[in-house]
Amino acid sequence: MNATSSCSDPAWQEAWDAVVPTLSKKDRILLPVGQWPRADVAEMRTYRYVIEVGDATVLFLYKGRLSGIPRGVLKRIHDTWRPIFANAVFVCFRRSMWRPGFLNWKREKERSSAHYGPVREFLDSRKLRRCRTTTFFVHIPKTAGTTVWEAVGNHVAAKLYCENHEPFERHPPQSADFDLIGGHVSLPIMVRVAAPQDRFAAVLRDPVDRFRSAFLHCRRAHEDPKTFTKAMRLMRERPLVEFLRDPGAPMEICQQTIMLGFAFDRVYVPEVEQEIFDRACAAVEQEGNLFATTRGVARFVQTLRAKLHVVTSKETLGIRNACNPTEQARDIEEFEDSLPQIRTMIAMEQELYDRVARREAR
């Protein structure tokens, strides 16, 4: 099977190189959106957050998007499709039925057992629970959320992460199946599936610092715009001063208030900002919930670990996705020039952050 070009990510390329020799011209491949090579097959179809298997014969299942596929469908794939390859990012399956080659199939699963582990944990999550309540972690972009998830979630077997609200709403998780549910999903959306005794947690960051980080992330040359939201693409393509005039700019700038107070059940307009802010403040002040600023993230991680019955650790928390000030000097200068206007747009966001900071300092 001939294929052209290459993937920009080594883990994606590794998966592609392993699967390509097994392909035929009749295959219909299902992969996540990305910079994939072309192959001489019947169809190459991509998915973003929701995975519709349909008549696909080969599936590149991105493990970070297990929430995008119904549990029953994934169980059938896991039990009856042939595993082709697995690494830290993907598990790849070929549509198949039980046949004499099962022994080779079984050996492949055993050989890559660690890589297939997240799929099995997802399917068996209820059996793996250690807590009576579920913690919902609202991952607000650019607030050390990835650091927190890795420090806590990597030690929790019964967990689910959603990159986006779309799979969460399409395939709502059952809180009774997991100890920890997290992702880029707003708190009001998570509330819909939570039990009364469940708790919510999030980390907030100084609003100016958070937006600066988001802006620089969008401007980094090596980031793939295909993975961006519409607002992120606008920040990448337009001058910042022009982006700030766009109707969608307040939602990006006030992301923390949005993630804690907006259910995305209506059009976001200035008239609903106070209601969203009030809902976010109520969540922050609700007894039992866990909120912190990035200054207190180490203590937040230890508290969350204790709630989830994870052994505490003194490991150093890593810094992820940091910008290079030298390479992005012009972007930083552009941001600083727009800072007065930005400050006028984050008054409520700043107040929300200050409330969390004051509670943290008690």
Structure tokens at 282: 């109520």
CA distance 143 to 137: 12
Does the pLDDT at position 125 exceed 90? yes
Does the pLDDT at position 108 exceed 60? no
Structure tokens at 244: 């700030």
Bigger pLDDT: 98 vs 205: 205
Does the pLDDT at position 239 exceed 80? yes
Structure tokens at 302: 């230890």
Please give the pLDDT value at position 316. Answer: 67
Contacts of 70 (CB under 8 A, 6+ apart): 171
Contacts of 52 (CB under 8 A, 6+ apart): none
Please give the pLDDT value at position 104. Answer: 60
pLDDT, tens digit (0-9, with 9 covering 90-100), for 269-294: 999 999 999 999 999 999 999 999 99
Percent of the chain with pLDDT over 90: 81
The mean pLDDT of 306-331, rounded to a whole number, is 82
Among the listed residues 135, 143, 136, the one whose alpha carbon sits nearest the alpha carbon of residue 256: 143
In which band, very low, low, confident or very high, does the pLDDT at 236 lie, cut at 50, 70 and 90? Answer: very high
Report, in angstroms and rounded to the nearest whole number, the Rg of the chain calculated over CA atoms. 22
The span from the first CA to the last CA of the chain, in angstroms, equals 64
Cα angle value 182/257/270 (rounded, 5°): 135
Which residues, in sequence order, are bridge partners of residue 31? 46
Does the pLDDT at position 4 exceed 60? no
pLDDT, tens digit (0-9, with 9 covering 90-100), for 47-91: 999 999 999 999 999 999 999 999 999 999 998 999 999 999 999
CA distance 312 to 298: 11
pTM (2 d.p.):
0.90
Please give the pLDDT value at position 35. Answer: 85
Among the listed residues 142, 178, 143, 176, the one whose alpha carbon sits nearest the alpha carbon of residue 161: 178
Does the pLDDT at position 111 exceed 70? no
Does the pLDDT at position 228 exceed 70? yes
Please give the pLDDT value at position 221. Answer: 87
Among the listed residues 29, 54, 51, the one whose alpha carbon sits nearest the alpha carbon of residue 42: 29
Please give the pLDDT value at position 345. Answer: 96
Structure tokens at 186: 């707003």
Does the pLDDT at position 100 exceed 60? no
Is residue 77 within 8 Å of 59, Cβ to Cβ? Answer: yes
Show the beta-strand stretches assigned E in 25-169: 28-32, 38-39, 43-47, 58-62, 82-86, 90-94, 135-138, 159-162
Does the pLDDT at position 112 exceed 70? no
Q: Indicate the range of 4-13, 86-95, 173-182, 261-270 predicted with least confidence.
A: 4-13
Mean pLDDT of all residues belonging to the chain = 91
Please give the pLDDT value at position 206. Answer: 98
The residue written with tokens 């001489």 in the block is 40
Query: Between 297-307 and 145-153, two packed helices, what is the crossing angle to 10 degrees?
Result: 30
Structure tokens at 9: 């990510």
The mean pLDDT of 255-273, rounded to a whole number, is 94
Q: Indicate the range of 2-11, 66-75, 170-179, 234-243 predicted with least confidence.
A: 2-11
The residue written with tokens 């068996």 in the block is 124
Q: Indicate the range of 8-12, 62-66, 228-232 predicted with least confidence.
A: 228-232
CA distance 141 to 171: 22
Please give the pLDDT value at position 61. Answer: 98
